[in-house]
Chains A and B, each alone.
Chain A
Amino acid sequence: MSVDRILEILDKTRKGPVCTTKAWETEVIPAKVSKKLKQHRLQGTFTPDDPICSDDVLADQFFNAGFELAADIGFLCQDTERIVHFNRQEIKKAITRAPGELTFGKGKDTVVMKHRKPDDRNPMLTVSTLGQQISEDIWVPLMAAVIKNRQIDMFMGGSIVTIKGRKALAGTPYETLLGMYQAQLTREALRRAGRPGMATWAVVSSTTEYGQLGGFGVRGGFDADNSVAICLNPGELMTNYRVLHKVVQAHNCGGKIHTGHVSLIGGYAGSPEGAALATIANSLLFLEGYQAELAGGVVVDIRYGGNSGREALWANGVALQAITQNTQLLKSSVFDAVAGPCTEMYLYELALGALNASVCGAAWASFPRSGGGRYSDRLTPLECAFCAEIIKCAAGMTRKQVNAIAKAIVPKYERMLTDPPAGKSVRECCDPESFKPTGEWRAIYLKVRQALMELGVPLQRPL
């Protein structure tokens, strides 16, 4: 990391062109996205009957348009209401600088993350559990039960919202303490799972910058050499000083940075095509803006708060392909399910998320999110293992194959997307000690698994 470059970027947040947040969201983003879609003739390219795109030419067009959009629009700093611009050369340099391969973990838990292309034969890496809210009393044993599975490569723990029973109010010293507390609980979960060297994503429970400042790269906290700092944007093509605090803190202690954002279908970027374009621009811009190693970001449908419907599957797939076939970046994916554990819909949503990410070239994916992240303790080791086994077996499958599977699966649940089954909490559908699934939950899993195998997913043996 260059301190000079970080300073230049911080200077841009104070000296760039002025723009109010409202104008940014309601004028600038829609106008620039729409203009770029028109220029590249990308409007109306969404194909509802083919939710997984396999058009390489279209993906290239999206990349070119997304790259131009990034250079044209920049991003807004919420605190100063100023636009941070990077020119084409700066963005190109950021893409070239970002690694195409990284080694994570220590000892037996070492894994190598490599760039993947669409229809790649190498499996992507798996990161679980994606910050789903988990109660303090079961956090360590549940997390340990998830990562005992050797198909889970890296650890992103669930969110904790209390500290020794007290509410961890965001932006207060409780949160600062929580950063360290989560590091301690994480070490214990890794120890119990017999995977002490596993790389971690941190600090998941850092709502503001305080959790990160309290727990990342400090003595007794998350080891910056073996952790990735999560720097998630507050909105579309937007940052703020809270996130930039996290960025600077991570750089200060030599940590790697994962940028993340959500582009919303129905939101400021508009259509599935607009959201795909915005997420490409976001991914490229924040590589430079945060001097990051890992490009995240995901498209979510505002109408139901997930990404398992055909519009979101398509937009995520196109954006992934655009980036992975035109760069060497380590691009991630996230599966945002809206149903909950112990339902067939949940497993179908996750399966399609995993298959889509795999064939579109994601290098790694973090999962699972249930119920749109609404409910506490709606996470079990079974679906984490299910996602991991699908990801590993999907290496070598093609986008065309997965599209055929998606065409069969999406109609099974799409009518329920706006009113999905909440399912059951881990306390209701798993043994309270071992977290093994109840007969009901396992039967649902076996049924969905069988259906997927009949559709051509090359799963080997039941868990």
Chain B
Amino acid sequence: MDKKEALLKKLARAIISGHKQAAAEISEKSLKAGIDPLETIQRGASKGLKALGRKYERLEVFLPELIKGGDAMKACMAVLLPHIKPKQKHEASLGKVVIGTVSGDVHDIGKNLVATMLAISGFEVYDLGVDIPAKEFVLKAEAVEARVIALSALLVTTAYYQEEVINYLKDTGLREKYYVVIGGAPITPEWASQIGADGYGRNAVEATRVIKRLVTESAAPPLARVVVAGHNSSKGG
């Protein structure tokens, strides 16, 4: 096996085992070895994350390992992204997503899972945490030039704050800049449609699929129909 293949394999292993520092160091080495950073991401890091995702589906690893793998991926991207040619950037990263659990809600496990799945799929994820006011989502999205705002809520009385974020975007004239995707235990496509969200994910896998579809195939936001995994749902009220 040549040096390049060995490095890419090593990087994949570092991601699978969630070693942040190792992932960053191997990424540095790959740059020094003259390997195209895009290739390092696609054939090294992403490969590792995909393998990790498959292990999670089979319950061979669990949420902590998945989160650590996502963190290792972030460390790798932090090293490699600045070296990617501007026209290749869309191949290296699918875009930036600001994610968090809305006001009044301190549940984080579902949001953590979606954030990790998004990182695994090649998004740059900015996780704001839990109990986040509407304005903070928008300020962060503006600051990092995100394309997507993802809002989690575990309870119906906190799901109302998903609507508040959309209203805040409308009231500040920013609604056209961001896809808004919602999810959480009590969330349905009907609720997404009612509040004017662009996408709905029933679980982490579906949320990731929907966000990918939004940034790669959809018209500019806001969309007339809510994108859900498999099909679209008409917006109402």
Contact = CB atoms under 8 A, between A and B. Distances in A.
A208 B104 contact: yes
Interface string A335-350: 0000000000000000
A343 B188 CA distance: 19
Interface string A303-330: 1010000010000000000000000000
How many interface residues does chain A have, given as a range?
Answer: 35 or more
Interface stretch (A215-223, A245-253, A369-377, A381-389): A369-377
A207 B157 contact: yes
A269 B103 CA distance: 27
Given A267-B63, A271-B62, A170 B155 contact: yes
B106 A374 contact: no
A298 to B, nearest CB: 14
B1 interface: no
A96 B67 CA distance: 39
A374 B64 contact: no
B22 interface: no
Interface residues of B, number: 28
B109 A264 contact: yes
A270 B68 CA distance: 14
A419 B107 CA distance: 23
Contacts of A27: 64
A377 to B, nearest CB: 12
Contacts of A267: 62-63, 109
Contacts of B103: 170-171
A175 interface: yes
A266 B62 contact: yes
A261 to B, nearest CB: 12
B126 interface: no
Contact of A26 (B59, B68, B107, B160): B68
Given A170-B157, A205-B157, A242 B185 contact: no
Nearest to A31: B64
Interface in B174-203: 185-188, 203
Contact of B185 (A25, A266, A268, A305): A305
A205 B156 CA distance: 10
A168 interface: yes
Contacts of B25: none
A30 B106 CA distance: 21
Nearest to A25: B64
A208 B106 CA distance: 9
Contacts of A207: 104-105, 155, 157-158
A184 interface: no
Contacts of A235: 106-109
A179 to B, nearest CB: 12
B161 interface: yes
Contacts of A159: 156
Contact of B156 (A26, A30, A161, A302): A161
Given A175-B157, A302-B109, A374 B188 contact: yes
Nearest to B158: A170
Contacts of A265: 59
Contacts of B187: 374
A373 B64 contact: no
B157 A21 contact: no
B224 interface: no
A167 interface: yes
B63 A169 contact: no
A274 B185 CA distance: 23
Contact of A271 (B59, B105, B185): B59
A268 B64 contact: yes
B185 A26 contact: no
Given A372-B185, A374-B187, A167 B160 contact: yes
Contact of B160 (A169, A274, A376): A169
B64 A30 contact: yes
B156 A266 contact: no
Interface in B53-87: 56, 59, 62-65, 67-68
A122 B103 CA distance: 45
A76 B187 CA distance: 28
B113 interface: yes
A196 interface: no
A170 B109 contact: no
Contact of B63 (A240, A266, A311, A375): A266
A373 B65 CA distance: 28
Interface of A: 21, 25-27, 29-30, 78, 133, 159, 161, 167-171, 175, 205, 207-208, 234-236, 240, 242, 264-271, 274, 302-303, 305, 311, 372-376
- What are the 5 closest A-B residue pairs judged by CB atoms, nearest first? A170-B104, A270-B62, A171-B104, A170-B157, A161-B156
30 contacts: A25-B63, A26-B67, A161-B157, A167-B157, A169-B104, A169-B160, A170-B104, A170-B155, A170-B157, A171-B103, A171-B104, A175-B157, A207-B155, A207-B157, A207-B158, A208-B104, A235-B106, A235-B108, A242-B106, A264-B109, A266-B56, A266-B62, A268-B62, A268-B63, A274-B62, A311-B59, A373-B186, A374-B185, A374-B188, A376-B156
